[in-house]
Each structure stands twice: as structure tokens, then as C-alpha cells.
Amino acid sequence: MNKQIQLEDLGNRDYKAVWDYQETLFKSILDLKIQNRREETNHPTPNYFLFVEHPHVYTLGKSGDITNLLINEEQLAAKNATFYKINRGGDITYHGPGQIVGYPILDLENFFTDIHKYLRLLEEMIILTLADYGIKAERSPGETGVWLDVGTPFARKICAMGVRASRWVTMHGFAFNVNADLGYFDNIVPCGIKEKAVTSLNVELGKAQVDEAEVKQKLLEHFKVLFEAEFISLNSVQSPN
């Protein structure tokens, strides 16, 4: 099993361009797995982890309800935002500046074959990172993602998640609000969940800005332990020791 993960920080990139890039990596792993089975070979499958920040964009998962987008095309254009229907699970969400988006493209057969465990470990990575900042975060029963003050009138989501998997290969991932402009969430019913708020790490800490490079390092450190993985850094983000 190959537990090495090729890490790449793409910076600020258009959503569709990165979606296409994900699909290319995803297909390359699937093709190798199919080849291994057809030819009875055992070539190791690669794993990837992409960090990215997107310009303002709304994405609707394959099980989502378009009525959860509360603005029309003209209003989207006025807000310099785009919209895509995509092939992940979940409903509608927002990506934009100040949000750390992570796309692990993994062959789970290199780690474990359990999608629910995969999602729970992604949540745990966020929960542990927030704990590093003195914030108690948790899961909300029946609602994928990471929340604060679950079970109270003040429940609010800080990280959304949605994935796609085929033959145990994953794509899409998580969107962690770190310095996000929360006003953009007013244009949707986030994740299709009504009457629950959204928050960002800088808001919870009472800071104008949180060091996003530091947050990425903490995320990687926790991911490495949870998945018993090793990172190979391809560019600006250095893998944890």
C-alpha cells in the first residue's frame, strides 16, 4: 500500500480549472487500478492532496436542490460569482477568498476501504486543528461537516464537506472558513440546512486575519497522523516532519 501523498498548493485558482485538474488525477488513478486488475499487475497507485483558494463560486452537489441558490444569474454576475452543478455529494455551498479548500484525491485501498471513516477522519482533522486555536468543535448528527455549539440556538458551521468516490478513489473534499467573507453565504441555504448559521475562524478568534499558512500546516500535521501518511511536497506548502 502506497501511503505517500503528493501535496500541491495551487494558490488562487478558478473553480472549473481545478475541477478539471481533479478529474484528470482521479481518472489516472482509476485507469491504473483497472490496468492492474486486467493485467494482474500490482503497480502502486498515487495519492494527491490539493490546497486551493477559489474566486467567489457556488457549487451544487448532485443531490442538491437548486432552490437553495437564492440569487439569479444577474445577481451572481454583480457579486463577481459563478455557479456550477457538480458531481460530489451534498447540497449547495460557497467557496471564496479566505477559505482553505482541500481536495484529497486518494486511493483508499492504500489506507482503508470505508467512506464513512474517511469523512469522519476529515472532520477530525478540522476538529483537532480548531482545538489548536482553543476552539471546541464537533460533529452534528446527520449533518456532515464541522460545527460549533451543536444542540444550541447558536449552532454554526465552520467547515463544509462533500466528496465523490469510485472504486475507492476519492475527489472533492472540504472547505474550511478561515478568513471568509460570510456575507456570501446569505445568497444560499448553506448545505440545504435552514436556520443555522455559518462562521469563520477569524470571527471566532476575534481577529481581522488568521495566518492561513499556519492553518494549512496544522491541517497537514493532523491529516498525516490520522491517515498514517507521508507527504511529498510539490511546491510552496512544506510537508510536516
Partners of residue 58 on adjacent β-strands = 83, 94
- Annotated binding residue 95: yes
Cβ atoms of 235 and 9 within 8 Å: the answer is yes
- Annotated binding residue 162: yes
Q: Which residue in the list 155, 171, 191, 201 is annotated as catalytic? A: 191
- Annotated binding residue 93: yes
Q: Is 57 helix (H, G, I), strand (E, B) or coil?
A: strand
Query: Locate cell 482553505: which residue?
Result: 100
- Annotated binding residue 21: no
- Annotated binding residue 133: no
- Annotated binding residue 20: no
- Annotated binding residue 158: no
- Annotated binding residue 103: no
Alpha-carbon separation of residue 211 from 8, 178, 220 (angstroms): 18, 9, 15
Catalytic residue check, 191: yes
- Annotated binding residue 91: yes
DSSP string of 89-157? SSSEEEE-TTEEEEEEE-BGGGT-S-HHHHHHHHHHHHHHHHHHTT---EEETTEEEEEESTTSTT-EE
- Annotated binding residue 227: no
Task: Give dist(CA 57, CA 82) in Å, integer.
Answer: 5
Q: Which three cell numbers stand for residue 89?
A: 455529494
**Could you tell me which of 228, 106, 89, 103 has the C-alpha nearest to residue 176?**
103
**Could you tell me which of 47, 52, 56 has the C-alpha nearest to residue 19?**
52
- Annotated binding residue 90: yes
Q: Which residue numbers are catalytic?
A: 191
Positions at the binding site for substrate: 88-95, 160-162, 173-175
